[in-house]
Amino acid sequence: MVTRRRTAAPNAEWVLMYRGGLTRARIAALTRAPAGTVGYHLSVALAADPGLQAEHEKAAGTPVPPVNGQGLARMCQLVAMVQSTGGYPSRASDDADERRLASWLERRRREAAAGTLAPAYREGLAVLADWQRAPRAVADEARWQDRLATLARYRADGHDWPRHKAPAGEEHDLGVWLHAQRQKARRGELEPDKARTLDEVLPGWRTGRQRGPKPVTGTV
């Protein structure tokens, strides 16, 4: 099976637009791409080019938000907690301090998405992987990518498209996942970047098995 490489992040056009002062929301609107996808690509670009945010702010004329001692203390608490526990704070926690940290982090995420995050916070939070994305979104994306890779290997091993009605096992699990992607695509609910990835990695995923006799494989 021959596969094509997925277009790597970051999207050069979106980075150029961001460098020119456009916000994530504006870029998403102009390109008709999901805001979350644009945000992901820009987060990759920002990680690779620390000066990008400053160029964006200069082009946009964005004032630098004030940073106070309490905010810096909250940031230090957050970093220490995540590095110690491996998890992010929850607003549903019974602990009041954790709830305050969760609220503080949500505000920073909104500022980062709007392109108004203070440089001091941006640099301090950069030590935390995926801090701009909610933990559930990170986990969901990881599961999706894992299923994609598993299905690609399954097809590369010579298997036909998996059936969601197959008996319990690998084929069934992959079939259920693939069936869900097809259903979302038909309803217009599948994110464009995910649809493009499936088209690149698994050509023919939308139609699946073809009717008629199966081709004969192997040698005589």
Q: pLDDT tens digits for the chain (220 residues)?
A: 434 334 467 888 999 998 888 888 889 888 888 877 888 888 888 878 878 887 887 887 766 677 888 999 999 999 999 888 888 888 888 899 999 999 999 899 888 877 778 888 888 898 887 787 766 666 677 788 889 999 999 999 999 999 999 998 999 999 999 999 999 999 998 888 889 889 989 999 999 887 655 544 444 4
Residue 134, both tokens: 């909610």
Angle at 48 between CA 42 and CA 52, to 5 degrees: 60
- Single out the residue of 67, 19, 10 nearest to residue 38, CA to CA: 10
What's the pLDDT tens digit per position in 73-98? 999 999 999 888 888 888 888 899 99
128 C-beta neighbours (distance < 10 Å), count = 15
88 vs 150: CA distance, rounded Å: 28
Q: Is-above-0.85 flag for pTM?
A: no
What's the pLDDT tens digit per position in 133-172? 766 666 677 788 889 999 999 999 999 999 999 998 999 9
Residue 6 burial by Cβ neighbours in a 10 Å radius (0-12, 13-18, 19+): middle
Cα of first residue to Cα of last residue in the chain, in angstroms, is: 22
174 vs 76: CA distance, rounded Å: 42
E-strand spans in the chain?
A: none
Residue 51 gets which letter from DSSP?
Answer: T
105 vs 78: CA distance, rounded Å: 8
